Chain A
Amino acid sequence: MNTYICRYCRQPSDPGSPTCPLCGAPVDIRSVVSDSGWVEQPPIRDMARLQLGQSHCQVAGTTVPAAEFTLAPEDWIYFSHHVLLWTEPQTRLTNMPMKGAWNRKMAGLPLIMVEARGPGHLALSDNHAGEIVALPMQHGQQIWVREHRFLAATGNIKYDWYPSDVWYETGQDSDDREMHYPMGRYGDVFGAQAAPGLLLLHAPGNVFIRDLRQGETLLIQPSSLLYRDVTVRMALHLEYPRNQGLSFWRSSWSYRSIWVRLWGPGRVAVQSVYEPAEDTEAIRRHSYATTHRW
C-alpha cells in the first residue's frame, strides 16, 4: 500500500480509500485555500468510517452530523452526557469522575463525563448545524479546544481543563462590575498518553485551519477559535477605532473591538459561527492585552 500524508490530519494515510481512515477527510479532492491562507476543512462525507483501535466511528448526516460508534469489547470512549443521541441497551455506560464540580457548574460546563465501553453501538450529536472535526492524536501531542466544542475522545486521550487567560471586567461601581470571558471561562486540553487516540469536536458552521509560522500573529474573534496547538500563544487584544464624533452617547473608552491575538508557531482552527463579544461598558481591568488606538 502506498502511503501519503493526509493534508488535514497530517498522519500517514491510505490513498486508495475515498476518505482518510483516521480523520474522514476526503482523499480525492483539491485543497480549498483562501487568498490569505486559510484552508477549508472539508466536511466528513456522509457514512464515512474512521478507525479507532479495533472499533470504528461512522459519521451519518451532513447538516447536524451524528457520530455512530461501533465499539469493540476492549475499547472505550468518553463524552459529555448531553450529546448522547441513542445507545443500544448492551453498551455499558458509566460515570467518569471529574474534578472541580463547583467551578465547572459556575462556568456552564458539563459536570460529568460518561464512559461508554464496548461491545455495542451508540451515537452522539451536538445541536448546531455544522461539522464534526476528527483529530487523530499521536503520543505526546496536546491540543487546546474551546469549551463546549468537545464531542468525544477515545479512552487513551487524557482530558484536563484550565482557566482561560483571556478576560476583562466592566462597570465602574462595585454593584455593576461584571467579568467577561470572551473565549469562555475555561479551555479544554486533550493529550494522547501511551498510544495514539482520536478526538472528535463539533463546530457550528464551517471550519478553517491555518499554520502560523514562528512569531506570526493573527487577530480573530475570540469565540470563533475552535482549537489550537498548545505551542500557539494567545492574549486579549483591544482595538479602539478613531472617534469620529458620532458616539456622543457613549464614552470613546467603550467603543472598541475585542480580539484575541494568536502567536505562532502552530496550527489554529476557527469556526464560522461565533458569538460576538458584548458591547457594554468601558473596560476597567483585563488580562494581559495588547492595545491599539486609531
Chain B
Amino acid sequence: MIQCQWCQAQNQPGTTSCQTCGAPLDERNKVSDSGWREAPRLRDMTEFRFSGSTCQVEGELVPVAEINLHPQDALYFEHHVLLWKDETVPLSSMNTGGGLKRSIGGMPHIVTVASGPGRIAFSRNAPGEMVVLPLHPGMELDVREHAFLLASHTIQYSFIRIKGLVNLLHGGNGMYMDRFVTAGYPGMLILHGNGDVLERMLRPGEKILVEPGGFLYKDSTVQMSAVQMPLKTGLLRHGMYLAEMTGPGRVGIQSMYVHHHAD
C-alpha cells in the first residue's frame, strides 16, 4: 500500500494520485528550508472519492471542482461559488444563525445545500489552487472567511468571532472565521487558496508571525492573536500588526492576498 503524504490515506500500489484527496503519489513533498510544505498541486482531471460521491478537479490556473453526488450525499457551499449544475440537483438553504452579525462581518447570510444524485461544479474567481482536506471524526478546523469552496454534509458548520478588540481593529482577518467540525463521521472539506498554498505544523508553544491577509486555515488548537510589530507605516505612522500563530497544530497560508494595510 502507498500512504498519501498529504492526508495519510492508504492507496493501492500503482495508483498515481490519492483516492481520498487527489494528491499526486509519484511526486516528492516540496518543503522549504524553514519547514513550510506546499499543498499538493492537483493534476488536471484528477479524481478522488468521498462517501459515495466523486470529485474531479478540472483546470490548473483557477481549478474547478466537479462533483458527482451520490443519492445519499449532500454538500454545502456559499452560493456565489456555484459554476454550473444539473437541472435535477435540488438546492436548499442552511440556516447559519447570526444573520445580522454575519452581515456586519461581510459573510453570506445563507449557505446553500445541494443534494444528490447529480452533477454540480464549483470554482472561485482567482488564480490559485484547491486544498483538499479530508477530515477525520473529532477534527476542528478554522478557515478564513470566503475561502471555503464546499464541505460534505457530515461536517458541522459554524462560525466563530475572532476574539479581542485588537484582532477586530488590526488583525485584518475580518470579524469571523468559518469553523468546520466532524463529529461521528468523516467528511470532505475543499478550500480555494489564492496563489500558492503552504502549510506548516507548529509544535506546542512554537510561534510564527503571518500577514493576516495570507492566513488561510488552522487547526482550532492553534491560537491566533494580533501583535504589533516595531514598525510604523503610512503617512500617519500607524502601527503594523501581524497574526501571531501559536502551536500546536497546522497553519495554512496563501501567497496571494489583499494586504490589510497597504498604503
A and B: bona fide binding partners: yes
Query: A111 to B34, Cβ gap below 8 A?
Result: no
| Majority secondary structure of chain A interface residues (helix, strand, loop or mixed) | mixed
Residues in B whose Cβ lies below 8 Å from that of A61 = 38, 195-196, 198, 255
Query: B30 to A47, Cβ gap below 8 A?
Result: yes
- Among A89, A112, A125, A127, point to the contact of B232 (Cβ < 8 A): A112
Q: How far is the CB of A63 from chain B (nearest CB, A)?
A: 5
Residues in B whose Cβ lies below 8 Å from that of A129 = 61, 127, 195, 256
Query: A105 to B33, Cβ gap below 8 A?
Result: no
Query: A66 to B231, Cβ gap below 8 A?
Result: no
Interface: A175 (CB within 8 A) = no
Query: A86 to B210, Cβ gap below 8 A?
Result: yes
Query: B210 to A66, Cβ gap below 8 A?
Result: no
Query: A84 to B211, Cβ gap below 8 A?
Result: yes
Known: A89-B209, A95-B231. A64 touches B256 (CB 8 A): yes
Interface: B101 (CB within 8 A) = no
Query: B240 to A64, Cβ gap below 8 A?
Result: no
Query: A127 to B38, Cβ gap below 8 A?
Result: no
Query: B38 to A46, Cβ gap below 8 A?
Result: yes
* A47 CA / B233 CA spacing, docked (Å): 31
Residue of A nearest to B195 (CB): A64
Q: How far is the CB of A125 from chain B (nearest CB, A)?
A: 4
Contact with A along B230-263 (1 / 0, CB 8 A): 1111110000101010000000010111110111
Known: A93-B229, A114-B231. A125 touches B255 (CB 8 A): yes
**8 A Cβ contacts from B3-31 to A:** 30
Query: B34 to A127, Cβ gap below 8 A?
Result: no
Known: A68-B34, A86-B214, A88-B34. A62 touches B196 (CB 8 A): yes
Query: B196 to A68, Cβ gap below 8 A?
Result: no
Query: A86 to B253, Cβ gap below 8 A?
Result: yes
* A88 CA / B198 CA spacing, docked (Å): 15
* A102 CA / B235 CA spacing, docked (Å): 8
Q: How far is the CB of A105 from chain B (nearest CB, A)?
A: 5
Query: B258 to A60, Cβ gap below 8 A?
Result: no
* A114 CA / B231 CA spacing, docked (Å): 8
Interface: B125 (CB within 8 A) = no
Interface: B88 (CB within 8 A) = no
Q: Max chain A CB contacts within 10 Å: which of B41, B128, B207, B263?
A: B263
Known: A68-B34, A101-B235, A127-B256. A63 touches B128 (CB 8 A): yes
**8 A Cβ contacts from A74-96 to B:** 81-82, 84-89, 93-95
Residues in B whose Cβ lies below 8 Å from that of A93 = 229-231
Residue of B nearest to A121 (CB): B34
* A82 CA / B211 CA spacing, docked (Å): 9
Query: A86 to B209, Cβ gap below 8 A?
Result: yes
- Among B61, B209, B256, point to the contact of A128 (Cβ < 8 A): B256
Q: How far is the CB of A214 from chain B (nearest CB, A)?
A: 40
Interface: A58 (CB within 8 A) = yes
Interface: B103 (CB within 8 A) = no
Query: B235 to A105, Cβ gap below 8 A?
Result: yes
Query: B210 to A64, Cβ gap below 8 A?
Result: no
Q: How far is the CB of A253 from chain B (nearest CB, A)?
A: 37
Q: How far is the CB of A53 from chain B (nearest CB, A)?
A: 16
Interface: A191 (CB within 8 A) = no
| Contact surface of B with A, Cβ cutoff 8 Å | 30, 32-34, 36, 38, 41, 61, 127-129, 194-196, 198, 207-211, 214, 229-235, 240, 242, 244, 253, 255-259, 261-263
Q: A60-B32, A60-B255, A114-B231 are in contact. List 14 more A-B contacts (CB 8 A).
A: A49-B33, A58-B33, A60-B30, A60-B38, A63-B128, A63-B255, A64-B256, A65-B196, A84-B211, A101-B235, A111-B235, A112-B231, A121-B33, A128-B256
Give 27 A-B contacts (CB < 8 Å), ordered by A residue: A47-B30, A58-B32, A60-B32, A60-B198, A60-B255, A63-B195, A64-B127, A64-B196, A64-B256, A65-B255, A66-B255, A81-B240, A81-B261, A85-B214, A86-B208, A86-B209, A88-B208, A88-B209, A94-B230, A110-B262, A111-B235, A111-B263, A112-B231, A121-B34, A125-B256, A128-B256, A129-B127
| Contact surface of A with B, Cβ cutoff 8 Å | 46-47, 49, 56, 58, 60-66, 68, 70, 81-82, 84-89, 93-95, 101-102, 105, 110-112, 114, 121, 123, 125-129
Rank and list the top 3 A-B pairs by shortest CB-CB distance, nearest first: A61-B196, A64-B195, A64-B256
